[in-house]
Chains A and B, each alone.
Chain A
Amino acid sequence: MWCVARLEISRLFLSPFAWIMLALVQFLLAYMFLSHIEYFAQIQGQISAIPGAPGVTEMIIAPLLSNAALVLLLIAPFITMRAFADEHRNHSLPLLISAPLSASQIVLGKYLGYLGFFLLQLALIALMPLSLLAGSAIDFYQFGVSMFGLFLLVASFLAAGIFLSSLTTQPIIAAVMTFCLLFLLWIIDFAAASAVSGQINWLAWLSLLGHFQPLLAGQINSVDLSFFALFCVVFILMTIRRLDAARLSL
């Protein structure tokens, strides 16, 4: 399993793709980070008089990580599209299949590989809020929980992306499908907001955003954690099934 993860990470970093992704995402978020600071600096004088006014963590870090979530939603499909669609097109899947590995080891190995890549991305993103320590105190608990939430969110993106990548032999189709699915799940609670109150709001429950926002505010609900865990497990299991089925049907 670890050897598959290692292969996947080294393949990512040997192509310029991963480096460009890391650099551009960092650039985009740095721009947003600076504009959040700018805004905070402008209104700081006015809100400092209000008791219980939001601080740096609420005003800069939370919006930054919220932006980061959206940017990662955009790039995750481009990483996960490689998982199986690319291998199919490249005819390189037999290498993994005829190695002494089970389907679950292959899928989990790839998943962990991509997760490793995004952990690095998240570490780079975390550096920006941490740089605020130079001039201000930040709420480490809220920051920690938000980063954890972002990690869970990315883990879900990857699980869905790997599954959709195993369905097709065209990487681009896999990327587009992943993007559409994730985006739909992101915005699905727009519709839910207008639903009649009192009904069980299952659309809102499906929303990735709806489960991410409490974490961003520093709130850990077991329902959110179980949602992300279920989401990942379901998609990973479906991918393993799919890989096994490919052997049976072709």
Chain B
Amino acid sequence: MTILLEAQNLSRYFGPNVVVQNIDLTVKRGEILGFLGPNGAGKSTTMKMLSGNLAPDKGEIHINGFDLLSQPKQAKAQLGYLPENPPLYRELTVNEYLQHCARLNLLKGQQLKSAVATVIERCGLGDVQRRLIGQLSKGYQQRTGIAQAIVHNPAVVILDEPTSGLDPLQIRQIRELIRELANEHSVILSTHILPEVEMLCDRVQIISKGQVMFADSLTALHQQRLNSSLRITLSAPPPITELQALTNVSSVEPVSANQFRILYHPEQDPTENLIASAVSKHWQLQELLREQDSLEDIFMHLIKDDAPLAEVKN
């Protein structure tokens, strides 16, 4: 697969503060890269640098083979960017606005018309295309913002928190739209909403305090789990030591009088053993749940690990 966007060693300082430090980033064709981090981690700064709105203090950015710093025009022609606040002109109608955007991206004549018509259809803006942007709901404004980013059919689409401030239905619609985009474009999606990443992205990059904490595929992220656990409910539980003595169980935490969380190593699953004992010893098993580490736990774990380190640096 061809690499459409490649950034190396990006660093950015605001005065003495390091906002982003040595971030590497690659996106291949047809891939959605989730860019994840808590607020203030440097997500938006990185997005601004990738879109040419902010010059990096160090590092290089190549978009579809063009260097963003030395060949900005060619590189920017390959790029669609939706900033945190969609760059809309409230006094224009959706149709007029998109025509101007297409024109800014050097489309002309018939090509321009068909590009605008296509993007209006793709983003579901048909019903509102003659209305003023200022009068639209936030969801439609956000869609118009996305339409603006893809109207010139760029190789790479950069979306900075595209679902913030939307209602659940709108969020779902925007997510569907983003997934569709990935068929033709590469997408970089910044967000602090974890389920969104789980749903949409092929790869994740987690940053905290301007540094990359993790960069790999989602499956690799799930394998990061240190412990796996089972949650069981027993009507007639034995003493906790008896549970602990079972093979492959590394530890047991009581949740309530009848509920226990059983931790074990991912490779050594005690489930079968546990069920057999429960039946033979009449513990009256009522519920057995496999607890999955959510992305959230992994995320918190990665960020927490970094905390003392970053404090020393600051």
Contacts and interface: CB of A to CB of B under 8 A. Distances in A.
Q: Please indicate whether A and B come from the same complex rather than being unrelated chains.
A: yes
Interface of A: 3-4, 6-7, 10-11, 14-15, 90-102, 247-248, 250
Nearest to A14: B91
Contacts of A99: 76, 101, 104-105
Contacts of A91: 83-87
Nearest to B132: A14
Contacts of B80: 98
What 10 A-B pairs have minimum CB-CB distances, sorted nearest first?
A91-B85, A95-B87, A92-B87, A99-B104, A100-B77, A3-B103, A98-B81, A100-B76, A100-B73, A94-B83
A92 B89 contact: yes
Interface residues of B, number: 33
Given A94-B51, A97-B53, A98-B53, A7 B100 contact: yes
A99 to B, nearest CB: 4
Contact of A98 (B79, B91, B103, B106): B79
A100 B77 CA distance: 5
Contacts of B79: 98
Given A94-B87, A97-B53, 9 more contacts: A3-B103, A6-B103, A7-B104, A10-B100, A14-B92, A98-B51, A99-B105, A100-B72, A247-B55
Nearest to A4: B104
Nearest to A99: B104
Interface in B65-111: 72-74, 76-77, 79-81, 83-92, 96, 100-101, 103-106
Given A14-B92, A90-B89, A91-B87, A247 B105 contact: no
A177 to B, nearest CB: 24
Give the one of A91, A92, A93, A97 with max B CB within 10 A. Answer: A97
Give the one of A11, A95, A248 with max B CB within 10 A. Answer: A95
A11 B99 CA distance: 13
A148 B215 CA distance: 62
Contacts of A102: 72-73
A248 B53 contact: no
Given A98-B53, A98-B76, A93 B91 contact: no
